[in-house]
Structure 1
Amino acid sequence: MRAPDPDEDVYAERLMRRGAPKGDFPERGTEARVAYQLVHDELMLDGISRMNLATFCTTWVEPEVRMLMDESIDKNMIDKDEYPQTAELERRCVRMLADLWHVPEPSDPVGISTTGSSEAAMLAGLAAKFSWRARREAEGRPTDRPNLVCGPVQVCWEKFALYFDVELRRIPLSGDTYVMTPDDVDRYCDENTIMVVCNFAQTFTGLFEDVSGVAAALDRFEERTGHDIPLHVDGASGAFTAPFVSPDLVWDFRLPRVRSINASGHKTGLAPLGSGWAMWRRKADLPEELVFQVDYLGGNQATFNLNFSRPGGQVVTQYYDFVRLGREGYRMIHSATHETARHLAEGVRAMGPFDLVHDGHPDRGIGAVSWRLVGDEPFTPYDLADRLRTRGWLVPAYPLPADRDSEAVQRVLVRHGFSRDMSDLLLEDIESAIEHLRTHPPSVPLGRDEAGGFNHGARSVIDRADVPSPRPARESRR
């Protein structure tokens, strides 16, 4: 093997001339610059993340965030003895979120960082299940049929129900509603309900569910039946927007019925991917048996996570965001995204063939716009999504949940970094795509079952981590 020549053109190197390893483990390595160039070039085939209007996740960060992520690449969040200051930053973030979400005792909150809101949601679900089981055992009642009540939810709740053997009672949509309503809850709850989950905001449309209304419905349910059912708020995106742009909207721990909240730091919290948070109202809402004491990392440390080792950079950069922006900065950023969303919604409405589901109003949902195609058009929302991809835009099209799964919607997430100018460019491309589809109608319009590799059950045009499967909920095991 001849010595590498640092002056030789990278594309003349052996690996570039023979092709990338794709199956067998390579026998020999190569120069760092060659390996980098090969991987770098392959990643050019990925889409541009900022034009992915399906994902809820952060796609633009300040240079300082990238610097801190680089400096934190070796920090293990689980090892609080070796990295005590990173652990301190986590504690500060938890206290700040307790203040933001009105925990009754914010000086000593019960909260943790996670790898995202899905992990945080599962931890909240486990806490609710263990608490329910302890109450049932103390009463001498059976504990073999726990259930969870919710409306249309993100796929993490399907995973929770399957992985941890909990019946998922998903309330179907009725009439002209797009979210679970307080009137729905009563019929699905019973003594085996470990908790009710409210979406804030709903993945399909970006709309908020009526948390205070559901809390009141559960209060009435307890008065009638004696069953005290906790309310959990899946605040994946809304928990980082409403406190700043709709502070009078009551959805958090100001409601005594709310016992836990999960949120994504890497969504409207503006942190890089891999940041999530879980918070409980009080210590009693997190059973002690779920918290493990680990003594083989240099000190006796408490841990409550689904995984063990995980990077600390996301916590470090989340703290940076809180310090960098403060309430005023978050208010300014999220107000701007809502303004852009309202502008985009008006443009979509003016085009004619659309019925707005969510217009981006901050009291009704996050900075997003969603719509249905109405009228007699020679194309479907899937065709429009397909056409927009030719311009680089990912605008998802997918069916609504049961019992409105015959209707398809499209949704745009207006994230930090999506400007008024970009929204105007998108509106121009939507209008151009409609004109093209009207003058060149597809011979076979794409639908939820006909879109082939593009659709796959209306999920391939969507960020799979963000949007739940359209398949019907599993049958009750009762």
Structure 2
Amino acid sequence: MTLSAVASDADDSVAYTFASRYVREALPRFRIPEQSIPKDAAYQIINDELMLDGNPRLNLASFVTTWMEPECDRLIMAAVNKNYVDMDEYPVTTELQNRCVNMIAHLFNAPIGEDETAVGVGTVGSSEAIMLAGLAFKRKWQNKRKAEEKPYDKPNIVTGANVQVCWEKFARYFEVELKEVKLKEGYYVMDPAKAVEMVDENTICVAAILGSTLTGEFEDVKLLNDLLTEKNQETGWDTPIHVDAASGGFIAPFLYPELEWDFRLPQVKSINVSGHKYGLVYAGVGWVVWRNKEDLPEELIFHINYLGADQPTFTLNFSKGSSQIIAQYYQFIRLGFEGFRNIMENCMENAKVLKAGIEGTETFDIVSKDVGVPLVAFSLKDSGKYTVFDVSETLRRFGWIVPAYTMPADAEHVAVLRVVIREDFSRSLAERLVTDIKKVLTDLENRWTKATMITHVKAEENPDGGGAVVPKKSVKQTYEEIARYWKRLVDRKKTSGVC
């Protein structure tokens, strides 16, 4: 008896994904494919590729939130299809944004009444917030110069060399000279006295950092305010301060309530803060608030009505999601002042545990300060055998993403590692990281010992062979070589982490 089979023409969408042709075909990289594929196959092949990404929870380079409660996750997904700019269609979402602005303004001690509406806006991050604040300073300065019939074509802004790259973007994009106060070894934040010395009649503002990206340290905004007030009185100028509180804005009010850095200081006219950092929201939300309405020139605010009602808007983009704004409001009412304080205290305690563990290796010097953003920055005491870049690379074998970098101008010879402590970084993870760092140090020490032995053996086998023995570089030479390499890399392509 003859058996015959008919080839199945069944729809590929019901086929077992790993038995289908889709897993053996190359994925499109440059052009949209001609044919459709089943949804489960599309999901599977993309999900498989994404497995090669790092684990966000172990990404200790980032300040950005990587965990939220499931209830908030559900709110985010429920609002993922809402375009925030459609304020007339989504009035409640707009109201939630306004509530967040008011809460943040009061948190930063803005001079407003209990029921008075604050001046501020939600952004996609602190980068956009800084651009908006900078534009407000520039326009206000230009208007004043025009009224005085003085030149207004050479604005400048004074910052420390430790500022995040978004300040450099603002200066370049909006044609403002960036005057940077250089750093020095052991002092990695802006010196207020040197900053005020650099202020002139064309300075639109001085930018102070509450939580340096490099070391987490808070700059002395109070001293800057006092020195700048004196200079303004002597010169007749009215140079203001902007506080970049991207990292520290949701830390200082809860851990250091007596610290004067915000609108309690008269020269502080605007403040930005990242909701997606210690505001405890996933990436995609920042905030900027102004002291009062006079500090935000009216001509920068646009009014549109084609979406159904008159809507004022002051943003660099237009359409954006509503989810992160809703998530920010959730965190404010869910945690309250008490909850935020508890989380920040936990972060600081876990940072202390990690710091103690790293000091216990007797291999590193701690560069970060005890007061500031909860992070630990540390450098090698001796880089003759291996560098912080070797440590960073080897830690990836254990899943940890720990950045290594050189300091900015005039401190480039200093290279450090940095671990950011977020709310989801527990004590047990801190202890595990210390254990893995010790394993890495042992491994690197063994590698160096083996490489040294091989070098000596080759030198003995070929005593007359030139170049057999490589002279050991000093620590300073090693750091300078690293600094030159990274400076070339950065000059070719300057990039920024999420802000």
Percent identical residues: 45
Name 1:465's counterpart in structure 2.
Answer: 497
Return the index of the structure with the highest Cα Rg: 2
Name 2:19's counterpart in structure 1.
Answer: 12
* Pair 370,276 (structure 1): closer, same or farther in 2 beyond 3 Å: same
* Alpha-carbon offset, residue 425 of structure 1: 0.5
Structure 2 distance, partners of 1:231, 1:204, is 21
* Pair 207,450 (structure 1): closer, same or farther in 2 beyond 3 Å: closer
* Alpha-carbon offset, residue 17 of structure 1: 2.6
Which runs of 5 or more residues in structure 2 are unaligned?
A: 1-7, 452-469
- SS at 1:187 equivalent: helix
- SS at 2:367 equivalent: strand
- SS at 1:178 equivalent: coil
* Pair 449,377 (structure 1): closer, same or farther in 2 beyond 3 Å: closer
1:353 alignment partner AA: T
Query: Over residues 204-263 of structure 1, what are the superposed CA-to-partner deviations in whole Å (9 max), with x where a residue is unaligned?
Result: 111111111111111111122111111000000100111111111111111111100001
Structure 2 distance, partners of 1:213, 1:319, is 33
1:100 alignment partner AA: L
Structure 1 consecutive aligned stretches of length 4 or more whose deviation exceeds 4 Å: 442-456
Structure 2 distance, partners of 1:447, 1:19, is 43
* Pair 113,387 (structure 1): closer, same or farther in 2 beyond 3 Å: same
1:108 alignment partner AA: T
Query: Over residues 35-76 of structure 1, what are the superposed CA-to-partner deviations in whole Å (9 max), with x where a residue is unaligned?
Result: 111111110010001111101100111111211111011111
Name 1:294's counterpart in structure 2.
Answer: 304
Structure 2 distance, partners of 1:391, 1:459, is 31
* Pair 459,68 (structure 1): closer, same or farther in 2 beyond 3 Å: farther
* Pair 380,200 (structure 1): closer, same or farther in 2 beyond 3 Å: same
- SS at 1:441 equivalent: helix
TM-score of the aligned structures, taking structure 1 as reference length: 0.92
Name 1:225's counterpart in structure 2.
Answer: 235
Name 1:436's counterpart in structure 2.
Answer: 443
Structure 1 distance, partners of 2:308, 2:480, is 54
Q: Is the CA contact (8 Å cut-off) linking 2:130 and 2:166 kept in structure 1?
A: yes
Whether 1:401 aligns to 2:433 is no
- SS at 2:249 equivalent: helix
Q: 1:274 aligns with which of 250, 260, 284?
A: 284
1:441 alignment partner AA: W
Name 1:116's counterpart in structure 2.
Answer: 125
Name 1:144's counterpart in structure 2.
Answer: 153
Structure 2 distance, partners of 1:455, 1:130, is 33
Name 1:259's counterpart in structure 2.
Answer: 269
Whether 1:56 aligns to 2:68 is no
1:195 alignment partner AA: C
* Alpha-carbon offset, residue 447 of structure 1: 6.8
TM-score of the aligned structures, taking structure 2 as reference length: 0.88
* Pair 97,403 (structure 1): closer, same or farther in 2 beyond 3 Å: same
Name 1:28's counterpart in structure 2.
Answer: 35
Q: Is the CA contact (8 Å cut-off) linking 1:4 and 1:31 kept in structure 2?
A: no
Name 1:418's counterpart in structure 2.
Answer: 425
Q: 1:236 aligns with which of 226, 241, 246?
A: 246
Name 2:391's counterpart in structure 1.
Answer: 384
* Alpha-carbon offset, residue 26 of structure 1: 0.4
Q: Is the CA contact (8 Å cut-off) linking 1:203 and 1:466 kept in structure 2?
A: no
Whether 1:103 aligns to 2:113 is no
Query: Over residues 369-417 of structure 1, what are the superposed CA-to-partner deviations in whole Å (9 max), with x where a residue is unaligned?
Result: 1112123641111111111111111111111011111111111100010
Name 1:470's counterpart in structure 2.
Answer: none
1:465 alignment partner AA: G
Is 216-225 or 138-147 further displaced after alignment?
216-225
* Alpha-carbon offset, residue 450 of structure 1: 6.5
Name 1:319's counterpart in structure 2.
Answer: 329
- SS at 2:448 equivalent: coil
Q: Is the CA contact (8 Å cut-off) linking 1:147 and 1:194 kept in structure 2?
A: yes
Structure 2 distance, partners of 1:449, 1:458, is 14
Structure 2 distance, partners of 1:458, 1:340, is 32
Which runs of 5 or more residues in structure 1 are unaligned?
A: 468-478
Query: Over residues 240-287 of structure 1, what are the superposed CA-to-partner deviations in whole Å (9 max), with x where a residue is unaligned?
Result: 111111111111111111100001000000011101000000000000
1:335 alignment partner AA: E
**1:54-203 paired onto structure 2 within 5 Å:** 54-106=61-113, 107-151=116-160, 152-174=162-184, 176-203=186-213
Name 1:213's counterpart in structure 2.
Answer: 223
* Pair 451,42 (structure 1): closer, same or farther in 2 beyond 3 Å: farther
* Alpha-carbon offset, residue 2 of structure 1: 5.0
Q: Is the CA contact (8 Å cut-off) linking 1:382 and 1:447 kept in structure 2?
A: no
Structure 2 distance, partners of 1:341, 1:155, is 25
